Homo-oligomer: A and B are copies of this chain.
Amino acid sequence: MPSEFELIARHFTRGTRHTTLGVGDDAALIAPTPGCELVISTDMLVEGTHFLPDTDPEDLGWKTLAVNVSDIAAMGAKPRWATLALALPDANEAWIAAFARGVFACAEEFGIDLIGGDTTRGPRNLCVTIFGEVAAGKALRRSGACVGDDIWVSGWPGRAALGLAHLQGRTVLDQARRADCIAALQRPQPRVALGLALQGLASAAIDVSDGLLADLGHILEASGVSAQVKIGVPPAPTPERDAWLSGGDDYELVFTAPAQARTAVAALATELALPLVHIGSVTTGPAGSIELRDLEGRIVEPPRRGYDHFADGPAPAGS
C-alpha cells in the first residue's frame, strides 16, 4: 500500500503558477498582490451529510473545490489559491486519483494553485480553504443592500435540488431537464465572472448554497432591511416552485443593485450569456423578512427556508 507521502506526491502535487512555495514544506508561501485584500473561506464536506458514498469521485473533486470558489465569487473576488485536507477511510488509489482529477479540473478552470493540504485516515471528510483577491475596499458584502434596490438572481436556482430529487426517486424529470439538473448538482459552475463584473455595480451579494429565500434572508438580515419577491409561478406548491425558492446547492448569485443599474445588469446578462432575473426589491420592514407575491400581486405562502445541519437530512455541499 502506498504511504501517505507517496499518495500526496503522486496525486496532489502539481506545478503552481503564482505561488512562492507550494506543497512539501511545513507551510506554503504566497506573495499577495499589492493593493489587494485577501478573501478567505472554508467549507467542509462530509460523506453521508453532503454527499453519498457512491458519488462519482471525479465529480466530487470538482464540487469540493467549486463550492468554495462560489464563496469567492459572491465576494466579487478572483480565486487564486486553495488548500485541501482529506480524511479517507482507506488508501483506495483509484478513488484518490479520480478525486484529484476533479479537483485539478476545477482549479485549472478558475486559475487556482493548490498550495497545501493534509491527508489522514478517518471517515471520509473533505475540507477546502480558498483564497481570493480583490482590490482593497471593493469586496461585495452581504450588508450593503438599501431600500429601493432591485433584487436579482443569476440562472435558475433549484436545478440541483431537482436533480437530487430525481436521483433519489422523489420526482421524475423529463429527458430535457434531467441532464441539466443533474449537472447542476454534480458539476456546479461558480459564477466567478459575474461576481467580478458586479464590483461597483451590486450593493450586496451572496451565493445560493442554502436556498434562494434563505440566502436572500442573510443579505436582508445583514443589511437590516426586508424584501418583496415576485414569483412567476402558480401559488400552489409544486416541486419546481419549492426548489426555486428553497433548493440549495446551486451556487447561483443573489445580489442587490440600485434601480439605476438596471440597464447595466441587463447588458451584463448578454455579455456573460447568463440569465440575470429581476425577482423583487428591497423594502423597509423587519430585518430579514420576505414577502412573496405572485404576478397578480397575491401573497404566496413560502416553503420553509434553508438548511440546518442539526435538524435536517442531506445537506447542500456549500452549507
Contact surface of A with B, Cβ cutoff 8 Å: 1-5, 7, 20-21, 24-32, 34, 37-44, 46-50, 71-72, 74-75, 77, 81, 83-87, 90-91, 115-123, 125, 127, 129-132, 134, 136, 139, 141-143, 205-207, 222, 308-311, 315, 319
Decide: A122 and B48 in contact? CB cutoff 8 A.
yes
List, sorted by A's number, 22 A–B pairs whose CB atoms are closer than 8 Å.
A3-B308, A4-B310, A25-B222, A26-B74, A27-B39, A27-B75, A28-B41, A29-B39, A29-B40, A29-B139, A30-B40, A32-B32, A32-B38, A41-B116, A42-B83, A44-B125, A46-B122, A46-B125, A49-B120, A118-B127, A120-B309, A125-B127
Cα A161 to Cα B71 with chains together (Å): 40
Q: Taking the nearest CB of chain B, how far is it from the CB of A130, in angstroms?
A: 8
Residue of B24, B121, B141 near A25 (CB, 8 A) is B141
Q: For A84, what are the chain B residues with a Cβ–Cβ distance below 8 Å?
A: 42
Query: Which residues of B have CB within 8 Å of A72?
Result: 26-27
* Pair A44/B127 contact, Cβ less than 8 Å: yes
Give how many copies assemble into the complex: 2
Chain B residues within 8 Å of A1, by CB? 310-311
* CB <8 Å contact, A121 and B41: no
Give A25 to B209 CA distance when docked, in angstroms: 13
- CB < 8 Å neighbour of A40 from B86, B116, B205, B206: B116
**CA–CA, A139 and B25, complex, Å:** 11
Q: Is the CB of B30 within 8 A of A37?
A: yes
Q: A206 CA to B24 CA in the complex, in Å?
A: 11
Q: Which of B21, B119, B123, B141 contacts A309 (CB 8 A)?
A: B119
B48 touches A115 (CB 8 A): no
Which residue of chain B has the shortest Cβ distance to A142 in the bound complex? B25
Closest to A125 in B: B125
Q: How far is the CA of A48 from the CA of B125 in the complex (A)?
A: 14
Once the chains bind, are B39 and A4 in contact (CB under 8 Å)? no
Beta-carbon nearest neighbor of A50 in chain B: B120
Chain B residue at smallest Cβ distance from A205: B26
**Do the beta carbons of B310 and A42 come within 8 Å of each other?**
no
Candidate in A7, A47, A118, A315 with the most chain B CB atoms within 10 angstroms: A118
Provide the bound-state CA to CA distance between A7 and B283, in Å: 29
A136 → B minimal CB distance (Å): 7
Please give, as numbers and ranges, the residues of chain B lying within 8 Å of A127 by CB-CB distance: 42, 44, 85, 118, 125, 127
